[in-house]
Structure 1
């Protein structure tokens, strides 16, 4: 996620979640029932540790990608304002995920973003880890976000938690595309390293929180109903001609790096 996220009263509609960049949809899981990252994760890597050396090695490996098509895709993955996340997973899903064609799926992705992202904040706020672009006095693939990222803890990655949660849920909806969706979810998280916004250990921990969120979501009837409705939408979309607006070859080429 980018910046701090907070809950505010929203009358009868329930809690409203806000981000400095945009409004987030209320999630499925009540705030007090979200997975607790403080229970599930340890602290970030310590100074001079082997884990931190691994983080630095992973960061260094992405330096040649700066300015490449892979970095451009990382910038797209950094944008959590819908419809961009729906576009990012459409090729892997095999259908164009839009508010008009797949409204239940579109809404489900918005709500899962909130749940998975908020699940990371116990540890984020406790350790407030400094991000790699700050440590190395560099930039990221999304300069507009940098002032907020400087104040927002790096560990774990909220973007990654959301991306991995999306991959797991979308694979449940469309199991025939599971491998493509899992790969896209992995690539989505790695985009944070490519973007120089997160360390590799942030991304790894984000996947843990995404998986924990999806496991808990299975117990919520509203989520289960949306999954069933989304599956029907996807099946109907698959019966149509592929959407002309999807440039999947270009995305595949970028992610192959």
Structure 2
């Protein structure tokens, strides 16, 4: 994916970078420390305080990435928004080196479902505790998915889903672990490009996903399912259909331009 020129970045929608930075800052969402009774990962810090340097950096990244609207990376981010298991698995096909077909991987899908049963309640509780507004609230800049009913921003649940999916697949197919994790990093960045998450929401999703997956992976009740999924995925790799080459090229290009590092 080519880098965007300074002229393209300057041609933001009607509400440009300077206007966005001038918007009123969101109010603090009350006490940012979760109550002791809430079983949330202690590793996760609170989101950046409104008006702080990290908060302003989040706002700038949101504004400048609006220039990616209708680009190939924007379309990829739109596809990454689908968390249904057929789409989620397919998103990791290039990383696997073969097509991941959910209909042929029932034990892998069952493991993913068990994993999400662990992660979703934790992320929901964190979002409600921190109550951080989404980037698109209070402005009319474009987003790549419907913006209604999404709830709070911090941490990014899609990022947690992508990161934990990659960790699971990496445990099941260790030879492809690095590729899975790179795809998960890009998957999280898609939420920033979509305009539905701040960059720090995504960083928090990576951290959150790592700890939540560790709890899942070490649970005794998951070991039989993980063993079945590992055998199933190894068999699928031996009878593989190559992934779509054009899609893999787009994913490789996306990985070279991290919005979290300020590269478009």
- Normalised by the size of structure 2, how large is the TM-score? 0.75
**Counterpart in the other structure of 1:214:** 213
Does 1:42 pair with 2:45?
Answer: yes
Instruction: Give the Cα separation in 2 of the matches to 1:254 and 1:207.
Output: 18
Q: CA RMSD in A?
A: 2.1
| Unaligned segments of structure 2, at least 5 residues | 1-37, 258-264
Q: Find the counterpart in structure 1 of residue 136 from structure 2.
A: 133
Contact 2:93 2:243 in 1 (8 A): no
Q: Which residue pairs with 1:63 in the alignment?
A: 66
1:167 equivalent to 2:171? Answer no
Which range moved further: 153-162 or 93-102?
A: 93-102
Matches within 5 A, 1:117-128: 117-128=120-131
Render the CA deviation track for 1:166-191: whole Å, top value 9, x for unaligned: 11111111111111111011111111
Take 1:61 and 1:113, find their aligned partners in 2: how far apart are those partners? Answer: 32
Distance 1:254 1:204 in 2: 17
- In structure 2, C-alpha distance between the alignment counterparts of 1:207 and 1:244, rounded to whole Å: 26
Instruction: Name the structure 1 match of 2:22.
Output: none
Aligned partners of 1:94, 1:227: CA distance in 2, in Å?
Answer: 21
Describe the shift of the 1:135–1:44 C-alpha distance in structure 2 as closer, same or farther (beyond 3 A). farther
Relative distance call for 1:94 and 1:224 in structure 2 (3 A) is farther
Aligned mates of 1:51, 1:94 — CA distance in 2: 37
In structure 2, how many angstroms separate the alpha carbons of the residues matched to 1:69 and 1:254?
9
Structure 1-normalised TM-score? 0.77
Q: Which has the larger radius of gyration?
A: 2
Distance (Å, rounded) in 2 between the aligned partners of 1:163 and 1:202: 14
Contact 1:98 1:106 in 2 (8 A): no
Note if contact 1:73-1:255 (Cα within 8 Å) is conserved in structure 2: no
Structure 1 residues not aligned, in runs of 5+: 1-33
CA 1:97/1:106 → structure 2, altered by over 3 Å: closer, same or farther? farther
Which deviates further from its counterpart, 78-87 or 93-102?
Answer: 93-102
Deviations 1:177-225 (A, max 9, x none): 1111110111111111000000011111111111111110123234222
Q: Which position in structure 2 is the counterpart of 1:226?
A: 225
Q: Identify the residue that residue 114 of structure 1 maps to in structure 2.
A: 117
